[in-house]
Amino acid sequence: MLSDQDLMNVQAMTERISSAVTIYVNEGAADDHFGTNLANIARQISGVSLNRVKVEFGEALSPFPDKPCLTLAGEFSQNIHYFAAPEGHELQPFLEALAWLGGAQQPRGSDAVRGVKEISSPVDLLILIAAVCPHCPQAVRLGLSMAARQPLIQLSVVDAIEFGDLAARYKVKSTPTTIVNNGLTLVGTINESELVEGLLESEAESSLTRVVDSMIKSGRAEDAGRLICEKNAAGAILPLYVSKEFSTRMGALVAIDEALALNARIMDSVVEDLVPLLFQEDVALRGDTAELLGKIGDPAAEPALKKAAHDGDADVREAAEEALGLLGSKQV
């Protein structure tokens, strides 16, 4: 519930509204206390706004229809979904979004922010927050600013504590965590340029390595493997696989293992690029590559693996011999 001071802020902010704004309330199950709180907040805001903000009950179209939610709708948009209570520090960004949807002018913003108008296809933007997080309101305000400017952006603001299943699904370890199209994952405070770049490039093939890297760094390596399969883009993982940063390379291997589990032939297209790595100076990379080529199972790698079976390093030799065994080759 909102305090008297909160309600004074609501009144001041909603006076800026000049066109219809609606909050659609999905309360969830009958005994859902979180959903009840969302409904009460919506009623309070509507009452203090002198009906400038209307409230309608029932399920609105949202990314997680089984969960309690407030969906904000302007005259021409219905693309902002709150799976979080707009209380405390999170109230002000929520009120700003209502005002923007109701015709209040946004701050001019940078050239980068104005670039969201260039988006031509739907984009899913997910921001996972925690009520006690001091940096989350800034991330939410930035996302709201984008979604209010561009109706093609479907924004979901999710309380990672309240909805632990979603936090687990997206491997959230800290807040705020911002995810674009279930791929690009940005942890912590980000600036306008970073988010706009992510929104504009989220579907571009040229940016897929950056997306996969962000997923690996945020603990979503298995999800990155699934993305590689979805995009049929094995080449996107190679720059990460050859990284000199141990954690990046290990994350890339986890992603590759997941991709191979989903599609045994997904890495065939990069075998030709992997083979020369058997003869690089980095011993660990040689051994990992021999093992990987065995998992891929493409006979085209057999001649190179036979050479690697005579490598000066015992671990590389062993990995190459095991890979040849997986390929069905004769004992070297």
CB 319 within 8 A of CB 305: no
* Distance from C-alpha of 172 to C-alpha of 178, rounded to nearest angstrom: 10
Q: Assess whether pLDDT exceeds 50 at residue 165.
A: yes
4-200 folds as Glutaredoxin (3.40.30)
Report which of 81, 84, 82 is spatially closest to residue 34, judged by C-alpha positions. Answer: 84
| Other Cβ atoms within 10 Å of 14 Cβ, number | 22
Residue 221's contacts (CB-CB under 8 Å, 6 or more residues apart) are: 215, 251, 252, 254, 255, 258
The rounded mean pLDDT for the chain is 94
**Strand ranges (DSSP E) for 202-327?**
none
Domain 4-200 shares a fold with domain 208-327: no
Task: Give residue limits of the domains in the chain.
Answer: 4-200, 208-327
Whether domain 208-327 has CATH 1.20.140.10: no
* pLDDT reported for residue 266: 98
Q: Compute the average pLDDT of residues 197-218.
A: 89
How large a percentage of the chain has pLDDT more than 70? 98
> What number of CA atoms fall less than 13 Å from residue 328's CA on the CB side?
5
Residue 16, pLDDT > 60, answer: yes
CA distance 38 to 72: 13
Q: For residue 114, what pLDDT is reported?
A: 75
- Predicted confidence at residue 328, as pLDDT, reads 82
The neighbour count for residue 2, using CB atoms within 10 Å, is 19
The pLDDT value given to residue 331: 43
Query: Mean pLDDT, to the nearest integer, of 150-155?
Result: 96
Which strand ranges, in their side-by-side order, compose the sheet holding 69-73?
A: 53-57, 21-26, 69-73, 80-83, 153-159, 123-129, 177-180, 184-187
Strands 177-180 and 153-159: unpaired
Beta bridge partners of 129: 159
pLDDT in tens, 37-56: 999 999 999 999 998 999 99
> Is 92's pLDDT higher than 60?
yes
In the chain, the DSSP E strands lie at 21-26, 53-57, 69-73, 80-83, 123-129, 153-159, 177-180, 184-187
Q: Residue type at 45?
A: I
Q: What is the mean pLDDT of residues 51-71?
A: 90
